[in-house]
Chains A and B, each alone.
Chain A
Amino acid sequence: MIPVQTHTDLDDDRDLFGPRSVIGAIAVLVVLTFFGVGLQWIDDWVRDSSGFTVGEATAVSDTVSFVPAPGWINDPDQTFTGVGVVAQKNGWEIKVATGLVLQDGQSLEDFATIFYEIPPDEPGAQVSDLETFTTTSGLTGLTWTVHGTTNTSVTWMIANGTNVTQVLASGPSATLDSVRSELDAMAASVTDSSGGGQ
């Protein structure tokens, strides 16, 4: 038999300090607080724990900086202020290092070739040609990729006068495509305000 809707105790539950009023209001407030404040707090916490402020320049030294891509976490054990910053994501690691200097009369190409000609660790790895590139701040550099079956590394050498910033990324070849654009963006974001050395 279908019950007929009638006036119920629920309708009489209108006590200002009753459970329906008090617990109901608290529950609504808790949910609103979570969505209005809690998620923002978690977001801030995640940002802080990454060691970076995503989208903002991170100082590698007093003059060199780069912009970490979203999702990359700082590795504090390998980061030394004034020397280099290391970030990691999905098995990939990128290191932005400063302190390298060109010798008198030495071009960036000569300097980069020293590193370029070091034999790859992985037998049979494919080494790309040296290619030129320009950062978003207008610095020029050279880059190459060593593509092995297991691991891949990508190197950028960026010159500002005699000062050289090296960006070295390495990680599993299988996931290169997922991070390639972020690696390129981080390398392109390198700035050097040192004035170019000698």
Chain B
Amino acid sequence: MSDAGTTSPTPEVRPVGRARLMDTQSFVFWVFVVAMVYSGIHVFSEITGSLVVQTLPAVAWWALVVWSTYAVAFLAIVYRHQLFVRRSPWVTVGALAWGGTVAMWFAMKANSAVGDIFSLWFSSDFSDDWGNAIAAATNEETLKALGVAVIVLLPLTRVRSTLDGWYYGMMVGLGFQIVEDYAYTVREAASLAEVNTFLFQRGLLAGLWAHAVYTGIVGAGIGFLVTRTDRPLVRRVLVAVGFFALAWFFHFLWDLPVINEMFGTGFGGFVAVILLKGVPALVTLLLVVRWARTYERSEWTAFVERCVDPSLLTPQEATDLLSRKQRTAARKASAAQGGHQAKGLRKRLQVTQLRYVQAVREEGPTSTAALAEADLIRRIRQDPAFV
């Protein structure tokens, strides 16, 4: 058993640093703060000025509980979807806040102006049928993408991969989505039951392929553009622009009213249209994540081979960590040999090894965090029940 503090295979590799949001050494950070405070005040006053909040506080509070719960559940799903890296909670909060305040407020103003321009140039019918969808897709996707760009521009957020862009994009989109859903609810719901209906319609039927998904696609493109410097610039730009165009199209399609009654006006037709509009976006996002994860997996493996003490993470254990399926298979194998307790220890070892690799990468093999995880790995191995 070796000491993690003395056995780093490549001590010349400098740690990348732990991600942080706050960086007073950047004007971008101050722009971020000012824009968020300014927009937050406006969004807050917009919401608290609604008739429901003023006259039906119980409905407003219930809507807040419902959408907060929804947000936590959605966030947990995305957070768990990270295979090798647990991204910074504070940067996550920053991304959510940008989506819920800055992107939200500026999009409200921009959508109103562009809708009006379409009415003036063409007609109110054109604006209703096409203009609103064009305005929302263009303004909202750009402003949410700007949130990802702001995070990239902050040096301490340590955006280093396509999947970093995907993750922070989803968080920006989720923040936007939740605040928008809440604003719609307190503007239109007149009872607790209607709040639940809103949750069902906007959260479950419509929310699975909405803003978070669109901005996840856009964010992956931005992540690829700025981090995959081993690829030609033209290719990276094309990927980023292409991903934005895809997200724009899915958003436009979702907001387009002219196909809403394509399958009739009944509930079946309603569901069919939602599936037609939403499923392609979700499938695209999953394909993008799969594509980006292929590289992440290779890069993680290369890092482990070069920089991680094999006594703390053996080649076989590293292979077992490459996918959720392989992780589960390794736990089942431990369970087959040592029962339930061995399975639990194997799971704990896997989680600790992932944290150890991240600590070595971010803070170095001699950091307090890495040494603590290394110590825990050794103690798990020494447990008599461990197989």
A interface residues (Cβ-Cβ under 8 A, vs B): 1-8, 10-16, 20-22, 24-25, 28-29, 31-32, 35-36, 39-40, 42-43, 46-47, 50, 54, 69-71, 89, 178-179, 181-182
Q: Is the CB of B303 within 8 A of A4?
A: yes
Total cross-chain contacts (CB, 8 A): 136
Q: What is the bound-complex CA distance between A22 and B153, given in angstroms?
A: 10
Nearest A residue to B103 via CB reads: A35
With both chains docked as a complex, state the minimum distance between the C-beta of B337 and any C-beta of chain A, in angstroms.
Answer: 33
Chain B residues whose C-beta falls within 8 Å of the C-beta of A89 in the assembled complex? 123
Take A20-B26, A28-B28 as given contacts and tell me if A39 and B123 are in contact as well, using a CB distance cutoff of 8 Å: no
Q: What is the bound-complex CA distance between A6 and B114, given in angstroms?
A: 44
Q: What is the bound-complex CA distance between A50 and B123, given in angstroms?
A: 13
Q: What is the bound-complex CA distance between A181 and B30, given in angstroms?
A: 51
Quick check: is B158 within 8 A (CB to CB) of the other chain? Answer: yes
Q: Is the CB of B25 within 8 A of A15?
A: yes
- Interface 9-mer from B9-17, B57-65, B324-332: B9-17
Chain A residues whose C-beta falls within 8 Å of the C-beta of B238 in the assembled complex? none
Q: Is the CB of B123 within 8 A of A182?
A: yes
Q: Is the CB of A11 within 8 A of B155?
A: yes
Q: Which of A11, A13, A24 contacts B158 (CB 8 A)?
A: A11
In the complex, besides A3-B230, A4-B302, A43-B114, 12 extra interface pairs with C-beta distance below 8 angstroms are A1-B302, A2-B298, A6-B16, A11-B158, A14-B25, A14-B156, A32-B106, A32-B146, A39-B139, A43-B113, A43-B117, A70-B123
Give the size range of B's interface with the partner.
35 or more
13 A-B residue contacts at CB 8 Å?
A4-B306, A5-B299, A6-B13, A7-B16, A11-B16, A14-B26, A15-B25, A22-B27, A28-B149, A35-B110, A35-B143, A43-B120, A70-B124
Q: What is the bound-complex CA distance between A131 and B230, given in angstroms?
A: 75
Nearest A residue to B305 via CB reads: A4
Q: Which 9 A-B residue pairings sit nearest by Cβ, starting from the closest?
A: A25-B27, A7-B14, A70-B119, A24-B153, A39-B113, A43-B113, A2-B302, A35-B110, A71-B123
Quick check: is B200 within 8 A (CB to CB) of the other chain? Answer: no
Q: What is the bound-complex CA distance between A10 and B229, given in angstroms?
A: 12
Beta-carbon contacts of B113-128 to A below 8 Å, as 1s and 0s?
A: 1101101111111110
